[in-house]
Amino acid sequence: VILVDGKARKSLPATDRGLHYGDGVFTTLAVRDGKACWLDAHLERLRAGCHRLGIPAPEEVVLRRDVEAVLEGEGNAVVKLIITRGSGGRGYAPPEPVTPRRIALRYPLPDHPLAYAEQGVRLRIADARLAINPRLAGIKHLNRLEQVLARAEWDASATDIPEALMLDAKGRLIEGTMTNLFVAAEGVLMTPDLRECGVEGVMRRVIIDEVQAQGMAIQIQELYPDILATVDELFVANSVNGIWPVIACGEYRYHPGRLTRRLQQATGLCD
Ligand SMILES: Cc1ncc(COP(=O)(O)O)c(C=O)c1O
């Protein structure tokens, strides 16, 4: 099911700047038992992304209506919301005035094996690197070619490796292709600083808030791949799949630890 500006459509104008320049933002959220999980946080990230790009953000109430409408009463689904700067002429200059375009799509929930959350996942390290770009860092904009290249490097079903970690151009660990990364050493939880690249995930925010609500510290800092040799626990997380403990990354092996299990329980798959 696809809605364009709130109406059922199968296509959009070929002049859309989302297609030409990746000029827009998106978010992907889970709907479970009729509840759109962490919807407020998804809408807030869309709003912040539009603000950063200078796109007039559609009213929140309109986006909530799109979510309702695209669900058509379906209680379990993935909803993707895209906002583009709308149509424009040839050339980069933003059109005047801008009429943003909203696209809402519904998909089935992913059928990842339960074992990913219960027993953990194996990861690889992608060859593709993330570019340094503080002006775009954090937001979920539509330019995702780095993730597309990284994801094309391996066959997940043949290898049973569902995710790869990505380094940036300076060789720092940043995130997974579709997840944020957390590591723990001697009881201290750490997650990469995303001021120069990476997406600030809704689940990352949920986890940070939960850790702080439990009175624990979390360090948001630069992490380099050599830390993989010394950490006790590693997990990746996004708002659709929740937390996946990591049992292997390259040559290193891990066990799902107490901290990971506690956060899996505390955050669940929906707010
Ligand atoms: C590149 C990237 N980083 C992080 C995330 C996690 O984001 P969220 O927790 O909002 O689902 C995603 C989600 O798809 C992503 O594509």
> For residue 96, how far is its CA from the centre of ligand 1 (angstroms)?
31
Which residue CA neighbors atom 7 of ligand 1 most closely? 201
Distance from residue 166's CA to the centre of ligand 1 (Å) = 13
Give me ligand 1 centre to Cα 61, in Å. Answer: 23
Average pLDDT across the chain, whole number: 97
pTM here is 0.96
Catalytic residue (one of 27, 84, 140, 163)? 140
* pLDDT surpasses 90 at 97: yes
Q: Is 267 in the pocket of ligand 1 (CB under 6 A)?
A: no
Determine whether the shortest distance from the Cβ of 191 to ligand 1 is under 6 A. Answer: no
- Per-residue pLDDT for 157 more than 90? no
The pLDDT tens digits of the residues spanning 213-223 come to 999 999 999 99
pLDDT tens sequence across 27-49: 999 999 999 999 999 999 999 99
pLDDT at 158: 85
Q: Tell me, yes or no, if 267 is annotated catalytic.
A: no
Given 27, 84, 163, 175, which residue is catalytic? 175
Secondary structure in 3-state letters for the chain: CEEECCEECCCCCCCEHHHHHCCEEEEEEEEECCEECCHHHHHHHHHHHHHHHCCCCCCHHHHHHHHHHHHCCCCCEEEEEEEECCECCCCCCCCCCCCCEEEEEEECCCCCCCHHHHCCEEEEECCCCECCCCCCCECCECCCHHHHHHHCCCCHHHHCCCEEEEEECCCCEEEECCCEEEEEECCEEEEECCCCCCECCHHHHHHHHHHHHCCCCEEEECCCHHHHHCCCEEEEEECCCEEEEEEEECCEECCCCHHHHHHHHHHCCCC
Tens-digit pLDDT profile for residues 179-237: 999 999 998 999 999 999 999 999 999 999 999 999 999 999 999 999 999 999 999 99
